[in-house]
Chains A and B, each alone.
Chain A
Amino acid sequence: MKIIILDDHSLFSEGLGKILSDNFKDIKLETYNSIASLTKKELDLNSYSLFISDIELPGEEVFVYLTYIKSKYPNLPVLIISMHNKLSVIKKCKDLNIEGYILKDDHEFIMEGINKILAGQQYYSHKVMQTLNILNKKEKLLTPKEEEIISLLAKGKNNHDIADEIFISYNTIKTHRKNINRKLKLNTTADIIKYYYKNYI
Chain B
Amino acid sequence: MKYWLVIIFLIHVLYSFAEERYIIDTTVQEINLKDYCYHFEDTTNNLTIKQAIKHSWTKLNSNPTFASNKHVQWIRYDMYNPYNESIERIIFLPYHLIHEIDAYTIVNSSITNICNTGTKRPYDSKHINSNGYPIRINLKPKQTTSVIVRLKHLCRPLRATTYLLSEERVLNIIQKNNSIIWFWRGVFLFAVFISLVIYFSVKLKLFLYYFFLNLGFGLFIASQLGDYFLFFNVDNTDITSVIDFTGAILGNLFFPLFLNALTPIKARNEVLWKWMYRVIYVMIIIYIFSLFPSVRSSIAMYYFHFYIMIVSGLVLSLQLLLLVKNIIYKDKNAIPLFIIYSIYIVIMFIEIIFANMGLFADSPYVHISLLIVSVFEIFSFMGLMAHESLKIYKERSELLEKQQEHQKQMILSMVAGQEEARNRAGRELHDSIGANMAIIKQRIGKDNKELYKIASQTIESVRNLSHGLVTPMVKNDEFADEMKELCFLFSSSEIEIHCYFHGWPKIDDSEITTHLYRITQELLQNAVKHSKAKNVYFQFIGENNKNISLIYEDDGIGFGYEKKERKGLGLKNIENRITLLDGTLQIDTSSAGKGCTIVIEVKNVV
Interface assignment of B567: CB less than 8 Å from any CB of chain A: no
Interface assignment of A22: CB less than 8 Å from any CB of chain B: no
Q: What does the 1/0 interface line of B174-208 toward A look like (CB < 8 Å)?
A: 00000000000000000000000000000000000
Of B4-12, B433-441, B571-579, the segment with at least 4 beta carbons within 8 Å of chain A is B433-441
Of A32-40, A115-123, A134-142, A152-160, the segment with at least 4 beta carbons within 8 Å of chain B is A134-142
Q: For the complex, give the distance between the alpha carbons of A58 and B431 in Å.
A: 10
Contact of B599 with A175 in the complex, beta carbons under 8 Å: yes
Which residues on the B side are within 8 Å of A108 (C-beta)? Answer: 446
Q: Which residue of chain B has its CB nearest to the CB of A7?
A: B435
Interface assignment of B463: CB less than 8 Å from any CB of chain A: yes
Contact A172-B597, Cβ < 8 Å, known A105-B438, A139-B498, A182-B541: yes
Which residues on the A side are within 8 Å of B474 (C-beta)? Answer: 88
Q: How many residues from A make CB contacts under 8 Å with B?
A: 37
CB-based A-B contact count at 8 angstroms: 104
Contact of A137 with B484 in the complex, beta carbons under 8 Å: yes
In the complex, how many angstroms separate the beta carbon of A86 from the nearest chain B beta carbon? 7
Contact of B481 with A91 in the complex, beta carbons under 8 Å: yes
Contact of B442 with A107 in the complex, beta carbons under 8 Å: yes
Which residues on the A side are within 8 Å of B499 (C-beta)? Answer: 137, 139
Q: Which residue of chain A has its CB nearest to the CB of B538?
A: A143
Contact A175-B478, Cβ < 8 Å, known A105-B437, A107-B438, A182-B502: no
Q: What does the 1/0 interface line of A86-110 toward B look like (CB < 8 Å)?
A: 1110010000000000011101100
In the complex, how many angstroms separate the beta carbon of B278 from the nearest chain A beta carbon? 65
Interface assignment of A161: CB less than 8 Å from any CB of chain B: no
Contact of B482 with A105 in the complex, beta carbons under 8 Å: no
Which chain A residues numbered 167 to 201 have a C-beta less than 8 Å away from chain B?
167-169, 171-172, 175-176, 179, 182-183
Interface assignment of B539: CB less than 8 Å from any CB of chain A: yes
Which residues on the B side are within 8 Å of A126 (C-beta)? Answer: none
Chain B interface size range: 35 or more
Of B153-161, B307-315, B587-595, the segment with at least 4 beta carbons within 8 Å of chain A is B587-595
Q: For the complex, give the distance between the alpha carbons of A163 and B1 in Å.
A: 124
Contact of B436 with A11 in the complex, beta carbons under 8 Å: yes
Contact of A169 with B588 in the complex, beta carbons under 8 Å: yes
Which residues on the A side are within 8 Å of B455 (C-beta)? Answer: 105
Q: For the complex, give the distance between the alpha carbons of A56 and B441 in Å.
A: 21
Q: For the complex, give the distance between the alpha carbons of A194 and B455 in Å.
A: 57
Pick the contact of A144: B488, B535, B597 (CB < 8 A): B535
Interface assignment of B553: CB less than 8 Å from any CB of chain A: yes
Interface assignment of A68: CB less than 8 Å from any CB of chain B: no
Interface assignment of A83: CB less than 8 Å from any CB of chain B: yes
Interface assignment of A145: CB less than 8 Å from any CB of chain B: yes
Contact of B484 with A15 in the complex, beta carbons under 8 Å: no
Q: For the complex, give the distance between the alpha carbons of A137 and B500 in Å.
A: 10
Which residues on the A side are within 8 Å of B500 (C-beta)? Answer: 139, 143
Which residues on the B side are within 8 Å of A167 (C-beta)? Answer: 590, 592, 594
In the complex, how many angstroms separate the beta carbon of A173 from the nearest chain B beta carbon? 9
Pick the contact of A87: B437, B442, B485, B553 (CB < 8 A): B485
In the complex, how many angstroms separate the beta carbon of B578 from the nearest chain A beta carbon? 15
Contact of A86 with B549 in the complex, beta carbons under 8 Å: no
Which residues on the A side are within 8 Å of B136 (C-beta)? Answer: none
In the complex, how many angstroms separate the beta carbon of A24 from the nearest chain B beta carbon? 18
Interface assignment of B116: CB less than 8 Å from any CB of chain A: no
Which residues on the A side are within 8 Å of B594 (C-beta)? Answer: 166-168
Q: Which residue of chain A has its CB nearest to the CB of B472?
A: A88
Contact A85-B551, Cβ < 8 Å, known A105-B437, A135-B481: no
Q: For the complex, give the distance between the alpha carbons of A171 and B551 in Å.
A: 13
Contact of A175 with B467 in the complex, beta carbons under 8 Å: no
Which residues on the B side are within 8 Å of A9 (C-beta)? Answer: 431, 435
Interface centre among A12, A15, A105, A167 (most CB of B within 10 A): A105
**For the complex of A and B, 5 pairs with smallest distance between CB atoms:** A104-B438, A87-B485, A167-B594, A143-B537, A172-B588
- List 8 additional contacts besides A84-B430, A88-B474; criterion CB under 8 Å: A58-B431, A85-B463, A103-B438, A104-B435, A105-B441, A167-B590, A167-B592, A182-B502
9 of the cross-chain contacts (CB-CB < 8 Å) are: A83-B438, A83-B463, A104-B438, A105-B437, A135-B481, A137-B499, A143-B498, A143-B500, A182-B502
